Structure 1
Amino acid sequence: MKLLLVEDDASMQAALQRALGRRGMDITVCGDGAQALARWHAAAPDVVLLDLTLPGLDGLQVLEQARKGGLTTPVLILTARGTVGDRIIGLNTGADDYLAKPFDLDELEARLRALHRRRPAAGTAAPPHDVGSLRYDRDSGAIYHGNEVLELTPRELALLQALMAKPGHAVSKERLFELVFPGESDVQYEAVEVVVYRLRKKLGATGVKLVTLRGLGYLLKAQG
């Protein structure tokens, strides 16, 4: 796993680099938000481990700019801010997971590896899939409406990728749950419906409809 570690505390940075490196991760370290964003654009890692309190751009600004720039890498926020409000802000900005300090190293590793499993294995790239005006480029993971990258949260993107990978076929709620919430046993299946609702609103202007098939799941259908 190629991990981008964005942490400005030197002692925490060194400890994580040493501990995760021993567990087989290839780690690039940044202590500055702007530098981290530049490195992320230059060579996309498999997972980003992102602290919120950073000099220059803070973690949320880094995450927001990355998502707007079409970077789809899974992100785990690691921070001393442990309130529910901070967690919601981070997840709504585009984070995939959240772990408050202090934390257990085994739990951190497990969460990082769960996020890594979302990404397609090397050598499995396939030609783009189109549904109406939407195009799914499986090499980059991005989904385009015309020539513009759709601005989606990571969970919305994971769900839409799953549907576009099987155009014209229904994907069950259980399968979508596995792809959108990997390894998250404390999340209910109904959480998929929340992601579907938000994604359906964003697809409103694209001419592509997200259809619910009772008892079967969901599929995408080009209108007209």
Structure 2
Amino acid sequence: MEPIYHWKYILKTKKKLNAVSSRREFEGALLRAGEGFGCLHPWPELGDPCLDDLLGELRRDEVVSNMARGSWRMMLVDGAAREAGDSLIDSVMQYIPQSHATLTEYSVEAVEESVHRGYRVIKLKGDPTFKDHLNHLEAMARNWPHLGWRIDFNEVLTAEQTVTLCELFSDGLRDRIDFLEDPCPWNRTDWSRIRKISGLWLARDRGSHRLENGEDILVVKP
């Protein structure tokens, strides 16, 4: 195993980024092995190992977590491509879905800025009080009928709360929602019931990196 070098960094935000964490500073590490580069940016609140534990796995050559394993593979793939002079983007460009603008606030100004920058899909961070913002979201969906909406709850709702919320969506808003991401902890029975009642697609960003039977969308981060 080649020596691995790392450089820690801290990203700072003006507002909290989701309903699970109130942090404003997020520590990660850039990695290098040979000619390849990778990154570690864990969210312990969402079940990831802490950064020092991940770096310890790489330091001891005892890579056991999915995140550490993924960062090591990232360095290998990146290094091989750099040495061969190949572009990793060109070969997968046709498979990369349209990006979305991630907003942490439900403001007209934030949506206007995203539309001005050319985005056609908006991702909102949901929380347990999301229904209190529903009228505002309905109005924005009417004002920008060409926009698609993705709502990420980071599993902060229960299955029953998710069903109740979905029943409050107007038909117009429901037609413009691409999917709900991690509305509640994944359970095959619960998610199947939510999909059947709401008619909405559900996306999973937690657990295994394999799409299970009955699932619609799997969110995969490099």
TM-score (norm 2): 0.32
TM-score (norm 1): 0.32
